[in-house]
Structures are given as C-alpha cells and as structure tokens.
Amino acid sequence: MDSEATKKASDKIWQAWQNGEVIDALPSDCKPTTRESGYAIQARLEGLSSSPLFGWKIAATSAAGQAHIGVDGPIAGRLLAERIFSDGSVLNFGANRMAVVEPEFAFRIGETIAPRAKTYTTDEVLSMVSDLHLAIELPDSRFVDFVSVGAANLIADNACAHEFVLGPKVPVNWRDVDLSQHKMKAEVVGKFQHDGIGSNVLGDPREALTWLINEVAGLGLTIAAGQVITTGTCAVPLPVAAGDEIKMDFGTLGQVSMSFDSV
C-alpha cells in the first residue's frame, strides 16, 4: 500500500474510534490484504495520538479470543496513553459493541528493546522486564462484523484495542511463580464468574510476551523502556453492560477492579 492509501485507511479507523462509530469495511482502494499493510495502517494511529505510546497488546492469545475475533493466531496492537485508566476507575460504557472485559498479565519493560535479526528468547525478554502488573483490557472494534474481516483488517484496527485498566504492580516475587499454572477468578459482581489460568495465554504469559517482542522487532520497531505489554486474556471474555462492577482476583498476586457508570 502506498502512503496515501495507508493514510486514508488510518483516518477512517481513527475517526470511527473517536466518534464511537463503526464501519462495514474499509474502501477497496485502502483495504489491507497482508499483515504488513495492516501494521502500516496501525502505525499511523500512533502518530494521531496526542501522547507518547503507552505500550503494546496482544489479541487472540487463547482459543476463545481467536474465536471471538475470527482469527487463527495472535496479532499485535498499540496501547494509546489517552485510553489508559488506573485500578478502580469508573469508565463510561459508551458505544462499546464488543462489550467484554478480559483479565490479563501486563509486563513493564525496564530497558529499551531494539529490533534485531536474531529472535529474542524468553529468558532474554524476562531479563529486560522490570515489573509485572495485573490488568483489565476492554477491547472493541471499529468494524460492524469484526469476526469476518480477517487478520489484516483487525491489525489495521489496532488489534481491537480500545481501553485498558492498568492495575497494581505485583508485590510478591512473581519470577518464582509459574505463571502458566497460576489460576485466577474473573467476576462481574452479582452476575457471574469465570475461572482463568495463565496457560490460556499462548500456553504461558511469558511466552506471549516473547511473541510480542519478536513481532514488534520484526517490524523494525523499538520497544521503549517504561512501556507496558499486556499479554492477552487468561479467561473467557466476560460480557458486560453499563453499571457493572468487575473484579479480577489473581490470588497471591493481587487483584484489579473497575466499574462502568450506569448511564
């Protein structure tokens, strides 16, 4: 795709996102057909943000997540700073059409990770992590039928990034915990509860983190020290509505919560 087509597609997605609208499809002259063209469109969304990039996300790291958006493997997206909220925040439900929340492990990067030809190993990646946080992702899409548009379009759509709640830093020595086997409970208070486990995230959240690092490095991009990488849902996405209160209990690692206003 040339720069004009990339700009046209990203402007279309950005406008829909900012206005709480959806589109049937991108115009044929700017519709991405490869992952690379999808990432080129996504990259321009970062430039339209008013703040430095907060971090990165992975979509579709579990079978449930892949089925939810109609892809057969993970895709990467950007976390924009103006869409980040703190633990306990009350958010406006707005025009959220996916209407789900997802409990996630999020890693804060402690040193700059530069692109390189050699693949990063999990041990290398973990050595560059400063902290582990608990988090809640609130994904959404700018496409009416997000299940059918395919991976390239969903990458352009910022891997269904929308809003994100960054919870507390894990207070215990999480490096001694087998995150793949760590269990948690995801709850919409007074309605229902789902059980989750770290192995739902590409088998291990640490492996998902490594996948993201290598995906971004493969695009020739640098991950800056201080950025946060969230690694995908540990449980089946929980359906939510205006007025709901959400609690994610990660046991010995802590809790993170948020709620929606009732309007």
Nearest-CA neighbor of 115 among 230, 213, 226?
213
Q: Which pLDDT score is estimated for 263?
A: 75
Q: Give the pairing type, strands 129-138 and 163-169.
A: antiparallel
Rounded to whole angstroms, how far apart are CA atoms 108 and 97?
Answer: 29
Q: Is residue 192 part of a domain?
A: yes
Rounded to whole angstroms, how far apart are CA atoms 33 and 17?
Answer: 21
pLDDT at 114 exceeding the cut of 80: yes
Q: Is residue 159 part of a domain?
A: yes
The whole-chain average pLDDT of the chain stands at 95
pLDDT digits (tens, 9 = 90+) for 78-104: 999 999 999 999 999 998 999 999 999
Pair 258, 90: CB distance under 8 Å = yes
Q: Which pLDDT score is estimated for 71?
A: 78
Q: Is residue 24 part of a domain?
A: no
Domain that holds residue 188: 50-260
Q: Is residue 237 part of a domain?
A: yes
Task: Report the chain's terminal Cα–Cα distance, integer Å.
Answer: 42
**Residues forming a β-bridge with 258:** 246
The owner of tokens 């993170």 is: 256
Q: Is residue 27 part of a domain?
A: no
Which parts of the chain fold into alpha helices (H)?
A: 3-19, 35-48, 63-69, 122-127, 151-156, 205-218
Q: How confident is the model at residue 1 (pLDDT cuts 50, 70, 90)?
A: confident
Pair 27, 61: CB distance under 8 Å = no
Give the CATH number for residue 54.
3.90.850.10
Q: Which pLDDT score is estimated for 135?
A: 98
Q: Which two tokens stand for residue 5?
A: 């087509």
Rounded to whole angstroms, how far apart are CA atoms 222 and 62?
Answer: 26
Q: Is residue 203 part of a domain?
A: yes
Q: Is residue 90 part of a domain?
A: yes
pLDDT digits (tens, 9 = 90+) for 19-42: 999 999 999 999 999 999 999 999
Q: Provide Rg for the chain, Cα atoms.
A: 17
Can you tell me the mean pLDDT for 48-72? 85
Q: Which pLDDT score is estimated for 4?
A: 96
Tally the domains of the chain: 1
Rounded to whole angstroms, how far apart are CA atoms 244 and 110?
Answer: 34
Q: Is residue 174 part of a domain?
A: yes
The owner of tokens 């579990």 is: 62
Q: Which pLDDT score is estimated for 72?
A: 77
